[in-house]
Amino acid sequence: MGKQPKRKHVPQRTCVVCRTVRPKRELVRIVRTPEGGVAVDETGKRSGRGAYICRERGCWETALARRHLERALKTTLTAEAESELREYAAALPPLLAGGSGEGDEAARGVSGDG
């Protein structure tokens, strides 16, 4: 009766648009810097208030059109920052068929029974 190996903790974050809970690495962090600017945080370690968005273009379009990011970051996006975010979203690779995997259904409480 040996010990079971510990499962590694995987940090979970919620997309500010679709409210889907996913592993932190599957989302993109947008940060409001202490200087007041807004930038994409590739490493997830920049200081400042952060918000997470799925890598799906639809979430990005909705986030910018409906001001989800401004609300989450508690700031107003400048035209320059908004255009930079739109460029970043346009450069995102399309998701593979099947999305991010079967963890989404479990996170939303959806079962395959019906």
User: What pLDDT, on the 0 to 100 scale, is given for residue 91?
Assistant: 93
Q: For residues 27 and 101, give the distance between their C-alpha atoms in angstroms, rounded to a whole number.
A: 14
Q: Is residue 54 part of a domain?
A: yes
Model pLDDT for residues 16-63, shown as the tens digit of each residue: 999 999 999 999 999 999 999 999 999 999 999 999 999 999 999 999
Written as one string, the DSSP assignment of the chain is -PPPPPPPP--EEEBTTT--EEEGGGEEEEEE-TTS-EEEESSS--SSEEEEEES-HHHHHHHHHTTHHHHHHTS---HHHHHHHHHHHHHSPPPPTTTT-THHHHHHT--TT-
Report field, pTM of the whole predicted structure over 0.85: no
Q: Is residue 3 part of a domain?
A: no
Q: Is residue 113 part of a domain?
A: no
Structural domain of 18: 12-93
